């Protein structure tokens, strides 16, 4: 007489093996995914920050007033202020991003002609990546390079 085998489902051991495999794959993939997300957020921030500085410079020229940008690493925001305008614009940045003023303070100021008040270099650090933002003397002269 043969035993009757009732196979309408999975055994507990089969389910545990599948869950273990899924857990191992997830544990290996998560750090790479987290790093990928931080890199994308950093690239998005760098692009937005460049556009913000360009826009600030253009407004200084069109409105004929001095504009300044001040960075606060401790509270993770930067502020754009037009002298003589009503309210400063405050933008927050991710906590894993920090600024370092290498040859300039953590502020940028454009006069009414669009010229920067002081040339210099800012470093933007994000995890294990660094970006160098160089402000040159003259109109529209700044660039960002990945280090």
CATH topology of domain 12-146: minor pseudopilin epsh fold (3.55.40)
Q: What is the pLDDT of residue 5?
A: 63
Q: What is the pLDDT along the chain (147 residues), one digit of tens a residue?
A: 666 666 666 788 888 999 999 999 888 888 888 888 888 999 999 999 999 998 998 888 898 899 999 999 999 999 999 887 778 889 999 999 999 987 788 888 888 888 888 888 999 999 888 999 998 887 668 889 888
Cβ neighbors of 34 (< 8 A, separation 6 or more) are: none
CB neighbours (10 Å) of residue 89? 14
Predicted structure pTM score: 0.76
pLDDT of residue 139: 65
Kindly list the strands in the beta sheet with 120-126, ordered across the sheet, starting from the edge strand earlier in the chain: 97-101, 120-126, 129-135, 142-146
Place of tokens 């921030």: 45
3-state class of 69 per DSSP? Answer: strand
């Amino acid at each position: 007489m043969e035993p009757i085998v009732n196979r309408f489902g999975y055994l507990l051991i089969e389910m545990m093996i599948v869950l273990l495999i899924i857990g191992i794959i997830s544990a290996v993939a998560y750090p790479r995914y987290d790093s990928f997300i931080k890199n994308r957020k950093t690239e998005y921030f760098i692009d937005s920050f460049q556009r913000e500085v360009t826009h600030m410079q253009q407004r200084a020229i069109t409105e004929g007033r001095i504009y300044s940008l001040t960075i606060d690493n401790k509270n993770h925001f930067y502020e754009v202020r037009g002298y003589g305008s009503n309210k400063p614009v405050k933008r927050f940045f991710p906590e894993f991003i920090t600024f370092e003023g290498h040859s300039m303070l953590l502020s940028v100021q454009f006069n009414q002609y669009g010229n920067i008040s002081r040339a210099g270099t800012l470093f933007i650090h994000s995890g294990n990546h660094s970006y160098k933002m160089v402000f040159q003397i003259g109109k529209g002269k700044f660039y960002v390079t990945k280090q």
